[in-house]
Amino acid sequence: MFSILSNNNRLKTSVFIACSGLEIEYKENTTFYLFTDGFADQFGGPNGKKFKYKPFAEILVQNVNKTPNEQSAILAEKFEAWKGELEQVDDVCVIGVRIQM
C-alpha cells in the first residue's frame, strides 16, 4: 500500500502497488511507513470488527513527529486495547523511516 499525505499531514490517497525500482520524490523530514496488513486486519473493539486502514493511518499521522520509541509504544497500546481478549489473527510489522538531510 502506498499512501500520500498532504502538507497538513492528512491522508490524501492510498493505493496498493507492486513495484520494482520505484522512485519517490521526498522533502526533508519525510517519513515513510512500511507495514503488513496485520494491524488493520485485527479484530476487536466493542463490536469485534476489523481495525481497518483509515484509523491505522490516522494513528501514524497523529504521531509522526514523535520519537520512534513513543510511536512504537502508542501503536502497541492501541493494538492491545483494540484486540482486547481476542486472539491476534496475523503478524504485525510496522517500519518507519524518516529521511533527514
Q: What is the pLDDT of residue 100?
A: 85
Position 16 confidence tier, pLDDT thresholds 50, 70, 90? low
Residues β-bridged to residue 44? 49
pLDDT digits 0-9 by tens, 30-62: 888 888 899 999 999 999 999 999 999 999 989
The model's pTM: 0.78
Q: How far apart are CA 27 and CA 101, in angstroms?
A: 9
Selected residue with higher pLDDT from 83 and 4: 83
Query: What is the domain partition of the chain in residue ranges?
Result: 28-99
Q: How far apart are CA 93 and CA 34, in angstroms?
A: 8
